[in-house]
Structure 1
Amino acid sequence: MLRIVCSVLLMLIATASYAEGEEAAAPVSSARYIHLEPAFVVNYGSSGRMKYLRTEVSLKVSSGEAAAMVTQHKPYIRNNLVLLMSAQEPETMNSSKGRESLRKVCLDEVRAVMTQLEGMPSVDDLYFSNFVVQN
């Protein structure tokens, strides 16, 4: 009986160590995320009552070099995103299709800034972590 228990334990240990070896062989992603802090708080809309947006923005880059370049230019990127977000209309902010459109426009703006300053877009994607509007 002891021999059977020992055999089962050895098989479990062998299986566990094999599974760990497979996990270690998985490719490691070099993607990095740069969080533009503090959160963006802007007023938007051209008429009527004042409307507010609060959102957190993260940028995805694929290398340490790209992360360093983007980090160096954070103030310029933030400035352009504030101007872009504050120029939006309520119809854009209040629909999921509009928010996705805004996300793409913001990504294009960040890529344009980085291309202008560094000669390459450097940013793979842009994400809104939070998106709260007050009408």
Structure 2
Amino acid sequence: MTQQNDNLGDDLEEEGGNKGRLVKILAMAGVMLLIAGISVGGTLFLTGFFADEPVVTENGEPGQQQARPPTRALYLQLNPDFVVTYDVGSRQRFLRVELAVRARDQASLDALTQHMPLVRDEIITTLSEQTFGNIQRREGKEELVETLAEVMNRIITQRSEGQGVEAVLYNNFVLQ
């Protein structure tokens, strides 16, 4: 009987020891999760994740945030395509480009439509002033659309109350 009592006591000690280890492991896991949560929260706080962005007025002073509905993009296709010739050495080269413009207000697109003969003349003049080698390069094409946007915005600001063109987009660009 003594041997049975000894075995019973050993079983109880092992069961109590396992419970103690389990409690320690759970406590350590809880502490680790708490530290990770504090770390993530502190990082987000220090990077300004929880801070409201300050609103700056036109004169550069902080102001109150105004709720403005987002304006959707409006597009105008400039038809027909523009065709310009270039003399490159003894050869004659061609540029055929199809353009569209993006604006955020209808007044700008209405001004472009109303003054389309002037707009087309300015675009053709600008395209003709380009060098063939420059518009073959990606950077040259990007500079060209920026220049065309400036040309159109100048027309819009001189002749209407529109905000101007946001971007000039290539729908087709062919060099031959």
Could you state the TM-score of these two structures normalised by the residue count of structure 1?
0.71
1:80 aligns with 2:154: no
Aligned length: 108
2:82 to 40, 49, 69: 40
Question: In the alignment, what sits opposite 1:62?
Answer: 104
1:48, distance to aligned residue in structure 2 (A):
3.3
1:100 aligns with 2:142: yes
Question: In the alignment, what sits opposite 1:126?
Answer: 168
CA radius of gyration, larger in: 2
Secondary structure of residue in 1 paired with 2:95? strand
Question: In the alignment, what sits opposite 1:30?
Answer: 72
Give the fraction of aligned pairs with identical amino acids, expressed as a percent. 28
Secondary structure of residue in 1 paired with 2:83? strand
Contact 2:111 2:162 in 1 (8 A): no
1:119, distance to aligned residue in structure 2 (A):
5.5
1:115 aligns with 2:150: no
2:133 to 83, 91, 110: 91
Greater relative contact order (CA < 8 Å, ≥ 6 in sequence): 1
4+ runs deviating over 4 angstroms: none
- C-alpha distance 45-119 of structure 1, shift in aligned 2 (>3 A): farther
Question: In the alignment, what sits opposite 2:91?
Answer: 49
Query: Any stretches of 5+ residues in structure 1 without a counterpart?
Result: 1-26
